[in-house]
Amino acid sequence: MRLTSFTDYGLRMLMRMASEPERACSSAELADEFGLSRNHLAKIMQRLSRGGLIVTRRGGGGGAVLAKPPGEIRLGAIVRLLEEDQPLVECFAADGGACSIDGQCRLKARLRSAQAAFVTDLDRSTLADIALRPAPAA
């Protein structure tokens, strides 16, 4: 299974935030660290916020913080949230895609099972398990 870059960067952001969960991280700081545009990072933050994984604050001293302790955030939950609109294969799309062998395909059930097993295995670990070391002081 291949994760989207959206999920990849979302995981990186959360790993950094988990390294110092009490400190608010600004979008500018995270974008610079990961070489990502602030606009793209803002979209990832929106999804994480909507999913209840982070809380954002505006203004001086603002930024994003984890909504829960890192040990309470399962990796599978993160991947489910960030990949929610990215079907593994075309026929998994909400509209069913345009598969020419639909109704005859015996692969679909196996792919669903493999995808579920992948995310279930990720649920065995938490964000605390993969937290980065605190960023060096500038």
Query: What is the per-residue pLDDT across 19-57, written as a single tens digit (0 to 9) for each?
Result: 999 899 998 899 999 999 999 999 999 999 999 999 998
Instruction: Provide the token pair at 126.
Output: 């938490």
Comparing 86 with 130, the larger pLDDT belongs to 130
Domain-located, residue 121: yes
Identify the domain containing residue 39 by its residue range.
5-130
Domain-located, residue 19: yes
Provide the CATH number for the domain around residue 32. 1.10.10.10
Closest CA to 8 of 35, 28, 39: 35
Secondary structure class of 116 (helix, strand, coil): helix
Domain-located, residue 86: yes
CA separation for the pair 118, 9 (Å, rounded): 19
Closest CA to 58 of 26, 13, 16: 26
On average, the pLDDT of the chain sits at 89
Count of the separate structural domains present in the chain? 1
Query: What does the radius of gyration of the chain's CA atoms come to, in whole angstroms?
Result: 17
Please state the pTM of the whole predicted model: 0.86
pLDDT bucket at 92, cuts 50 / 70 / 90: confident
Domain-located, residue 137: no
